[in-house]
Chains A and B, each alone.
Chain A
């Protein structure tokens, strides 16, 4: 049971933190339509996070709520992958991270929708429709940037250098992930195949090694999560139970 709760929180944390990161583009997108696109993706991710937190709260049955799980847990209790907490960077970093993560979620939710746990399966089946949309949108942008102008290409090359070290952690199981019913090796193969396919179309090269940064899934985070939580949790920590 504890593993199931932790795994559900891990899924929730990944969605919440990336949703929060993407929301930082609100009002700052390169053009209005893409500002709206990235913030819509943000909303979808925060919606997923809510579903997972609500379920985790039910499982915990100790008075926890979706809000207490999002707003009142400490940094070391967060189980998101390091990839999602990195700063939003420029448009190329945001796009590439979204592409890496949407590809991961796309194949993860395909497995999860048949999970033995009916609620995780239902959340995944529902979210998969939206993730398919995210994957298509971010793939097109990776191709546009990689096979675009000299400027866009340089930026996405830099983004690959920055983000690649954090992609390996997605496929290294946390203890709570081992009984989840998800075959990470299959997920990894599917992810690599998709990334290679899109990179080829974008005239980019997939790095072969070096995706070694880990820790987030075990609660060992970078300084960036501290900054996110300070902002995200400030209101509930200062005025407990505040509502509007």
Chain B
């Protein structure tokens, strides 16, 4: 364990790039945009995070992983604070994160808020197939394997894929 006297918040942000989402392991907590603040004071650090979805079970694991990462880097007193406001949006996801998602086979969220409205039987969003880049795709289900995803299928290459829905 490294003994530290004063590590800057900037270096903590760097360390957090190593902490990934257990459900979508290509994304770091930085990519997700869920780190709201980092405060350091010698061996103490306080990290403020915001949940993606209210019921996302990955949040508890993420908190523990952040704590472990910082403890193993010499911090003695690590506090994880959770805030709900302002509510997280996929617009906070980094461009690098979106690129990583696509390479992983998950269509990244569209930029504009299109899903969170109450209009019924709305036409499917134009979601790009992460495999063949076609926009000729359709939605199979609004809900997917995790709270943050919906199921889509490509009409050109026929591959089904997850879409990280905009939120």
Contact = CB atoms under 8 A, between A and B. Distances in A.
B144 A46 contact: no
A45 B84 contact: no
Interface in A190-230: 201
Contacts of B121: 140
Contacts of A48: 54-55
A122 interface: yes
A36 B167 contact: no
B85 interface: yes
A45 B53 CA distance: 11
Contacts of A136: 117-120
A126 B120 contact: no
Interface in B85-132: 85-88, 115-121
A43 B55 CA distance: 5
B147 A40 contact: yes
Contacts of B88: 126
B17 interface: no
A37 to B, nearest CB: 4
A175 interface: no
B53 to A, nearest CB: 7
A126 B84 contact: yes
Contact of A33 (B56, B147, B151, B167): B151
A126 B54 contact: yes
Contacts of A118: 85
A34 B120 CA distance: 17
B167 A140 contact: no
Given A33-B141, A37-B143, A129-B167, A43 B120 contact: no
Interface in A21-40: 33-34, 36-37, 40
Interface centre among A48, A118, A119, A130 (most CB of B within 10 A): A130
Contacts of A33: 140-141, 143, 151
B147 A123 contact: no
A212 B68 CA distance: 54
A41 B88 CA distance: 18
B84 A40 contact: no
A141 to B, nearest CB: 10
B118 to A, nearest CB: 5
A41 B142 CA distance: 11
A157 interface: no
Given A36-B144, A125-B84, A46 B167 contact: no
Interface string A101-144: 00000100000000000110111011101101101110110010
Interface in B136-167: 140-145, 147, 151, 167
A47 interface: yes
Interface in B20-69: 51, 53-57
Nearest to A125: B87
Nearest to A37: B143
B26 to A, nearest CB: 22
Contact of B53 (A44, A132, A135, A143): A44
A51 interface: yes
Given A36-B145, A129-B167, A133-B115, A122 B55 contact: no
Contacts of A106: 118
B36 to A, nearest CB: 13
Given A46-B55, A47-B53, A143-B120, 5 more contacts: A40-B144, A44-B55, A122-B85, A126-B54, A136-B120
Interface of B: 51, 53-57, 83-88, 115-121, 140-145, 147, 151, 167
3 smallest A-B Cβ distances: which pairs?
Answer: A47-B55, A47-B54, A33-B141
12 contacts: A37-B142, A44-B54, A44-B147, A46-B55, A47-B54, A122-B87, A123-B54, A125-B85, A126-B54, A126-B85, A129-B167, A132-B118
